[in-house]
Amino acid sequence: MLVILGLLTSLLSFLYFRAPSIRKFFAGGVCRSNVQLPGKVVVITGANTGIGKETARELARRGARVYIACRDVLKGESAASEIRADTKNSQVLVRKLDLSDTKSIRGFAERFLAEEKQLHILINNAGVMMCPYSKTADGFETHLGVNHLGHFLLTHLLLERLKESTPSRVVNLSSLLHHAGKIRFHDLQGEKRYSRGLAYCHSKLANVLFTRELAKRLQGTGVTTYAVHPGVVSSEIVRHSFLLCLLWRIFSPFVKSAWEGAQTSLHCALAEGLEPLSGKYFSDCKKAWVSPKARDNKTAERLWNVSCELLGIQWE
């Protein structure tokens, strides 16, 4: 027992001693684009904290008019105030958006469309993870409802504005964990069997499939779309899991910062010449390998149709 404890102590000591070089290895790519955004309009969901906040900060620094769309308006205003002071860009605005309630999504879209005549970048960044079983205001399982259906509806409602503002882009945050996901059409709401870890994986697979099908349907419109794995990032998304919160604290020297986690989102939003890669999945600022399940066109099309039925919308 003492030998084992000694080995563990030695291992942890080694890891922490080597933390700077290990972190550099796991930090991943950096967005190298120099594109500036004066006159451009951006919407980022969940940008009041974490990856979304750092994404908003960088886009504001480049001169964009940035809308922070979030559920907690007070936290959103605090983040916006910080970003405005940091970037000297006064055009950082906060609007209420609760992705767990389709009425809130429709209300946000209606107000935004009345306020803005253009939309150049939509970043579907917000998400939930490891939630105990619960349902949204509309009766959807929470991971499916927030991570997939909420952003599916938001994109649908804002799509015409994106088409009117081409070239424009839609960036969907997914995860490496989509590899463990499965679209269980017979039990989408998790009522027969539920695992809060797998529910997150299923929703992240849905994000990649949505991106794939959206790209196919947007061919020739000037709107392109990309799915993103931000990496293992220190953020509030793990707040529903005590174990993950503990692991994040223990291994915090080795996981990405929110700034590092934002780099691939920024790359897909800004990098020139990405249009031929619309519908693809990116990690560390480059196209990455995707699960075979995420390349299934029949599943992507079926999920699209089922999503439209659940939301009561028609999407050409």
Looking at CATH, the fold of the domain delimited by 35-311 is given as Rossmann fold (3.40.50)
Residues in the chain: 316
Q: Residue 21: pLDDT band by 50, 70, 90 thresholds?
A: very low
Contact criterion met (CB below 8 Å) for 257 and 233: yes
Contact 284, 24 (CB under 8 A): no
Q: 240: which DSSP letter?
A: T
pLDDT of residue 11 exceeding 90, the answer is no
Mean pLDDT of 23-46: 86
Question: Which DSSP symbol is given to 176?
Answer: G
pLDDT in tens, 235-283: 554 454 555 555 545 455 567 789 999 999 999 999 999 999 999 999 9
Q: What token pair was written down for 181?
A: 């996901």
CB 179 within 8 A of CB 130: no
Sole residue written with tokens 């992240």: 204
pLDDT (tens digit, 9 = 90+) per residue, 178-230?
999 999 999 999 999 999 989 999 999 999 999 999 999 999 999 999 999 99
**pLDDT reported for residue 231:** 84
Name the pTM for this structure: 0.88
Q: Is the pLDDT of residue 25 over 50?
A: no
Based on the residue annotation, tell me whether 200 is a catalytic residue of this protein. Answer: yes
Q: Which of 67, 200, 226, 281 is catalytic?
A: 200
